[in-house]
């Protein structure tokens, strides 16, 4: 028998970055907010304290901070005519769980998207013509512009104490910053991190080739910082345990280190853990959400009524909840009808390793967002005429770690095991620099989510099915970027260079990046999207969806900054417009 709880004004499903932002904004407005998190409570000072061993086996290989695939996973295939099989081990992407979500184990690379990224279709058509976009490419404009999001980017950067150097301050180009970025209304709240040998070597080579290197925007603290909520963060110690690990030093901006210390003191906020939400419930007329049904760790089914529901899960779970709840029409690639599950996109990763004889890099002195980058080949910062693709990516050297189990770069031709492999690891561990390309992926007709007809999860629901492969546009784009990577790597003066191209077809097994997008995309009309520009469901106006699932395609940057800006933009509209007149909001 289902237990029915007292109604709450707002229920937030999932408690990572966006869940915390939504809860903080709405409780500040005076609303009664309940957050439901499937995982357990985790606190920086107790669970991730500085005396906690950053154990590679525990965190990287036994998935301490990641979701449990024995309870809920997805099936995967490259093409629609293949049989999809369940993903039994985490690989290509690493969704988080527990309080704080994936943000607990992120690197902290915090970008703003380019202004043209938000008009991906109209901008490219205007510059290159309709023929530049393949028939099966389904990119579209977002419905929101960079100018509208700029104050929300600024707010998130101040919340996190992002370290960096502005390149475009109110339209004026600034020395040492990214000259291609959209305008900033203010400088970064903190100066750039102190650079180490590897990114400095990259920057020198890039500069010699005529590029404009700049420090990567970092959520790793370059100095002590107190954010607008009064929460204090400490300087980064460059320990090299950011990605896949939690920071116990309060030196990495996460929801748990920037928002929770203030939010948990508010009497109108409640956080309930061990609550696995299975379904969004609707009224009989399918006009509004009435709450959510979840199951506790003890197996009890609970219905939580709410006047407003906000889904803040990782994109695969947001999309799955829509499908399991019968909200919106599931996308059909044959007919092109339906929007739920449409426009899934990933990112295109490639790179090169530069090997030296005597140049020491000390890779263990690192941080998740310690690096230098160039943006000459990102978005539409360069002329694509005749190249056969749209999109691009940034190129950078990040010195993130020298973890001994995970980090053992060796040149091409090295034996896979034995004495030869051991010698190569020993000789090259302290003498290798990586240069990487982080490329965009455009959305295509054949890349999507739907429900698998064969496999079910631990709760008896059909597993969600992912169909994805890199298309010719991304293959050509990545090949072009990788050539630029190789040019910089060869200019860095090493003994030899090993180039790693993007693997085709896409393989879900090896880790690449946790930057999945699409599936509940935003747009200008219900015909081409699941939500409006405020992340409000077209179908159920008291349902809001946060996260990278709103992206109609995936630009060439890490998504977290834009995910957060969209959440702040959405909540500003809720506070200014929706609460005065609950219902569909006017798209100004």
324: Cα separation from own chain's centroid: 24
- Cross-strand partners of 76: 85, 466
Q: How far is CA 532 from CA 21, 446, 543, in A?
A: 19, 24, 11
Residue 417 Cα distances to 405, 412, 413, 414, 466, angstroms: 14, 13, 12, 9, 34
From CA 343, how far away is CA 442, in angstroms rounded? 8
> How do 33-37 and 269-273 pair as beta strands?
parallel
Query: Which DSSP string corresponds to 289-333?
Result: EEEEEEEETTS-EEEEEEEEEEE-S-HHHHHHHHHHHT-SPBP-T
Query: What residues are paired with 309 via a beta bridge?
Result: 11, 543
Token pair 């990572």: residue = 16
Residues paired with residue 372 on neighbouring β-strands, in sequence order: 215, 397
Catalytic residue among 438, 515, 520, 569: 515
Q: What are phi and psi of 128, to 5 degrees?
A: -120, -10
| Residue 438 known to be catalytic | no
d(CA 572, CA 575): 5
Which one, of 174, 173, 181, 141, lies nearest residue 157 by Cα? 181
Alpha-carbon distance values, 552 to 182, 266, 344 (Å): 20, 35, 8
- Tell me the angle at which helices 197-208 and 472-490 cross, rounded to the nearest 10 degrees: 100
Answer left, alpha or beta for residue 63, where phi above 0 means left and psi between -120 and 50 means alpha: left
Which residues are annotated as catalytic? 515
């Amino acid at each position: 028998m289902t237990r029915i709880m007292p109604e709450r004004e707002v229920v937030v499903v999932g408690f990572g970055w966006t869940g915390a932002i939504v809860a903080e904004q709405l409780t500040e407005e005076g609303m009664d907010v309940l957050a439901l998190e499937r995982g357990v409570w985790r606190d920086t000072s107790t669970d991730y304290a500085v005396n906690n061993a950053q154990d590679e086996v525990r965190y990287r290989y036994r998935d301490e901070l990641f979701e449990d695939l024995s309870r809920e996973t997805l099936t995967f295939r490259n093409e629609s005519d293949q049989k999809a099989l369940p993903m039994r081990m985490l690989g290509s992407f690493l969704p988080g769980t527990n309080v704080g979500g994936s943000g607990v184990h992120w690197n902290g690379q915090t970008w703003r998207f380019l202004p043209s990224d938000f008009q991906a279709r109209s901008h490219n058509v205007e510059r290159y013509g309709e023929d530049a976009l393949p028939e099966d490419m389904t990119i579209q404009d977002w419905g929101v512009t960079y100018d509208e999001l700029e104050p929300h980017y600024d707010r998130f950067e101040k919340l996190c104490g992002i370290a960096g150097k502005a390149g475009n301050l109110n339209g004026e180009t600034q020395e040492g910053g990214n000259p291609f970025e959209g305008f900033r209304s203010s400088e970064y709240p903190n100066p750039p991190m102190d650079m180490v040998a590897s990114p400095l070597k990259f920057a020198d080579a890039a500069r010699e080739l005529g590029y404009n290197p700049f420090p990567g925007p970092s959520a790793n603290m370059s100095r002590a910082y107190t954010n607008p909520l009064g929460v204090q963060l400490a300087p980064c110690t460059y320990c090299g345990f950011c990605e896949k690990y939690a920071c116990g030093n309060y030196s990495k901006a996460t929801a748990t280190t920037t928002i929770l210390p203030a939010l948990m003191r508010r009497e109108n906020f409640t956080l309930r853990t061990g609550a696995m939400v299975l379904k969004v419930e609707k009224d009989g007329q399918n006009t509004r959400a009435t709450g959510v049904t979840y199951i506790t760790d003890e197996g009890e089914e609970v219905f939580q009524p709410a006047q407003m529901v906000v889904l803040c899960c990782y994109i695969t779970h947001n999309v799955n909840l829509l499908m399991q709840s019968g909200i919106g029409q599931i996308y059909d690639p044959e007919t092109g009808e339906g929007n739920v599950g449409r426009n899934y996109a990933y990112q295109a990763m490639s790179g090169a390793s530069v090997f030296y004889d005597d140049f020491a890099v000390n890779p263990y002195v690192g941080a998740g967002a310690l690096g230098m980058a160039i943006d000459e080949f990102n978005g539409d910062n360069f002329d694509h005429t005749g190249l056969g693709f749209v999109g691009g990516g940034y190129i950078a050297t990040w010195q993130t770690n020298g973890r001994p189990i995970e980090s053992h770069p060796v040149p091409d031709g090295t034996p896979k095991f034995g004495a030869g492999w051991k010698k190569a690891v020993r000789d090259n561990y302290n003498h290798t620099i990586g240069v990487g390309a982080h490329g965009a992926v455009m959305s295509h007709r054949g890349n999507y989510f739907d429900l698998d007809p064969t496999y079910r999860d631990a709760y008896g629901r059909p597993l969600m099915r992912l169909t994805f492969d890199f298309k010719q546009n991304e293959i050509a784009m990545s090949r072009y970027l990788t050539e630029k990577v190789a040019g910089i790597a060869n200019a860095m003066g090493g003994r030899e260079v090993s180039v790693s191209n993007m693997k085709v077809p896409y393989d879900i097994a090896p880790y690449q990046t946790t930057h999945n997008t699409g599936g509940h995309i935003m747009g200008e009309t219900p015909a081409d999207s699941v939500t409006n520009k405020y992340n409000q469901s077209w179908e159920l106006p008291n349902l809001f969806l946060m996260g990278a699932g709103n992206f109609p395609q995936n630009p060439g940057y890490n998504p977290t900054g834009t995910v957060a800006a969209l959440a702040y933009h959405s909540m500003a509209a809720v506070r200014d417009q929706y609460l005065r007149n609950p219902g569909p909001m006017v798209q100004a």
